[in-house]
Structure 1
Amino acid sequence: MKNIYIIGVGLIGGSLAIDIKKNNPDVVIHGISRKDTTLNQALSLNLIDKKATLDDIENADLVIVSIPVDATVKLLPSILDKISDNGLVVDAGSTKVDICKAVENHPKRRNFLAMHPIAGTEHSGPSAAIPNLFIGKTNIICEVEKTAFKLQEKALKLFADVGMRMRYMNPEAHDKHIAYMSHLSHISSFMLGKTVIEKEKNERDIFDMAGSGFESTVRLAKSSPEMWTPIFKQNKTNVIETLEEYISNLTQFKELMKQDNFDAVFKEMKDTNHIKDILKGIN
């Protein structure tokens, strides 16, 4: 792959650009964005080699779409219209059902690979891009059987070379599992931040009293609403289901405290400590 086009040179797109370029110095990275200021910043940070437009995609060996999922659904069919028969388009969206449906009957469906690299930080934009973001991270691949083998083979090697391990899943299973493992975490963080802001009117008190526990729990509340609102909208059914279960557990915990049943409170927390065994070895 000599010509790689990245649509959306932010945290994920920019970090992929850094690591792909490190492993493949001869590759030319082209950046595409709605905002010229974004491309100028990406150039100044050496994330991309050249600016490009959607009309240039016909020259691409690989197109990486890393924009909000609602924009991906709208733009993906026209991107596939422009890709050559030997080119591949991949997306990095956090939802997969709507994205896969958007191109399920496209004549160039074989030129598309749906994926979700589960990596990131709470930051956004070109300046958020960092090297080695994907080492040891899982890349969920959906409907791999619908992508031309020779095209997927090259792309999967490219992503494995930057440190990702591949996991294969259908779009429905992906969206259900990711609602629990990612989407609920973001909502919890946003709502914790909201609760503290509403109750602690003095911002200095928040700053002075915020310990590491609060800081780590509320970290995701710094994430981009422009990115996350479309994700919640596309995965609404699964997210609501996870919220109902989460709220039920919170309500039960509150009732145990109201009843002064702290033996049960202890047991709830002790049983949940098992999560550390499940997550052992991550990061």
Structure 2
Amino acid sequence: MNKIHIVGLGLLGGSFGLGARRKFPELKVTGNDISAQNLNDAQTLGIITESKEIPDSDTDLVILATPADTLGDLLIKTLDQVGPETLVIDLGSTKSNLCQRVQNHPKRAQYLAGHPIAGTEYSGPKAAFADLLDRKVMILCEMEKTDLHLKEKAYQLFDALNLKLRFMDPQEHDRHLAFVSHLSHVSSFMLGKTVLQKMADEKNIFDMAGSGFASTVRLAKSSPAMWAPILTENKDNILAALDGFIGNLQDIRSKIAESDNDSLHQDMAEINKIRDILDLGK
């Protein structure tokens, strides 16, 4: 592998660039970003070796790391541009719409649908770091539709970055992510909003905010430019997740209103079992 090209030089794209350059010191990494500041920062930080709008014809991998609502058009445009030995990988948090959009594209075999389960609440090139992807899960969808020879290039990079590969159907991916990722961000944003509204009346409320509040609301610091499109792209699955979440909130509200301590304790004890599930997944 000699060349990769990254479109979108924020946290994910930037971390792929830094990680790849650390593992392959001779690798040429070109890239582009809609933000001139991001592009300048990426060059200064060594994420890319050269700014380039269109990848070279002999580029091995093109990585698309832009917001979810831009990926469809960008993916088709990129597939139209690349040579026959280039594999295009997207890092989007939703997969169904993308896979449907390119299912009949003449270069469908040059596309790999990917989603690294990695990130922080920070964004932009300055938030990127080489170890972000270390031992993280990389979900791949519709592997059978990607050219076998080109997949080997992706495997070389994934192995070098120490990613753990998992394979899923795109619909299954979007459905599961709505519950374990997208809903988490919605609830964190809304908790932040609720406290900010209270702060308008009581200025000292944040003086009492402890580690529990900080950890729960951490995701509310995430990029709106990234997350607003994810919520609309995966709308149906997120609405289903929200319906269940709202139902549970209404249930606990009723029990609190009725001072039903026994039911509250029983529910929380049952929910505590999630510790075993999370510990098992480590």
**TM-score of Structure 1 vs Structure 2, range by shorter chain:** over 0.9
* TM-score computed with the length of structure 1 as normaliser: 0.96
Q: Give the corresponding residue for 1:132.
A: 131
How far is the alpha carbon of 1:58 from its aligned partner?
2.6
Structure 2's unaligned 5+ residue stretches are none
Task: Tell me, in whole angstroms, the C-alpha distance in 1 between the residues paired with 2:120 and 2:135.
Answer: 15
- Aligned equivalents of 1:26, 1:50: Cα separation in 2: 13
| Deviation, structure 1 residue 281 | 5.8
Counting aligned pairs with the same residue, the percent is 45
Report the Cα distance in structure 2 between the residues aligned to 1:71 and 1:16, rounded to whole angstroms.
19
* Letter matched to residue 190 of structure 1: F
1:242 alignment partner AA: A
1:145-171 Cα shifts (integer Å, max 9, x gaps): 000011112202311221210110011
Deviation readout 1:36-68 (Å, 9 max, x if unpaired): 2211111111111110012x3433211000000
Query: Helix, strand or coil: the match of 2:140?
Result: strand
Alignment TM-score, normalising by the size of structure 2: 0.97
Q: Give the distance between the partners of 1:71 and 1:57, measured in 2 at CA.
A: 22
Q: Distance in 2 between matches of 1:37 and 1:199?
A: 35
1:19-34 correspondence to structure 2 within 5 Å: 19-34=19-34
Relative distance call for 1:203 and 1:117 in structure 2 (3 A) is farther
Number of positions where the alignment pairs a residue of Structure 1 with one of Structure 2: 282
Report the 3-state secondary structure (helix = DSSP H, G, I; strand = E; otherwise coil) of the residue aligned with 1:29: strand
* Per-residue Cα deviation, 1:99-146 (whole angstroms, up to 9, x for no partner): 111211110000000000000001111001012111221111000000
Q: Distance in 2 between matches of 1:243 and 1:160?
A: 36
Distance 1:243 1:36 in 2: 37
Structure-2 residue corresponding to 1:5:
5
Superposed, 1:146-165 pairs within 5 Å as 146-165=145-164
Deviations 1:191-220 (Å, cap 9, x if unpaired)? 000000001226852432211100010011
RMSD of aligned Cα (Å) = 1.4
1:18-57 correspondence to structure 2 within 5 Å: 18-54=18-54, 56-57=55-56
29-38 vs 88-97, greater mean Cα deviation: 29-38
Describe the SS at the equivalent of 2:213.
helix
What CA distance in whole angstroms lies between the structure 2 residues aligned with 1:37 and 1:279? 39
> What is the match of residue 250 of structure 1?
249
Partner Cα separation in structure 2 for residue 57 and residue 201 of structure 1: 53
SS of 2:31's partner is strand
Change in Cα spacing, 1:192 to 1:11, as seen in structure 2 (3 Å) is same
- Structure 1, unaligned runs of 5 or more: none
2:189 corresponds in structure 1 to 190
Please tell me whether the aligned partners of residues 11 and 126 of structure 2 are also in contact (alpha carbons under 8 angstroms): yes
* Structural mapping, 1:115-126, within 5 Å: 115-126=114-125
Match of 1:97 in 2: 96
Residues 156-193 of structure 1: CA deviation (Å, up to 9, x unaligned): 23112212101100110000000001000000000000
Could you list the structure 1 runs, at least 4 aligned residues long, displaced by more than 4 angstroms after superposition.
Answer: none
Match of 1:111 in 2: 110
Between 153-162 and 241-250, report the one with greater CA deviation: 153-162
Distance in 2 of aligned mates of 1:49 and 1:12: 17
Instruction: Report if the CA contact (8 A) 1:57-1:79 is conserved.
Output: no
d(CA) in 2 for partners of 1:157 and 1:102?
Answer: 27
CA contact (8 A) 1:76 1:102 kept: no
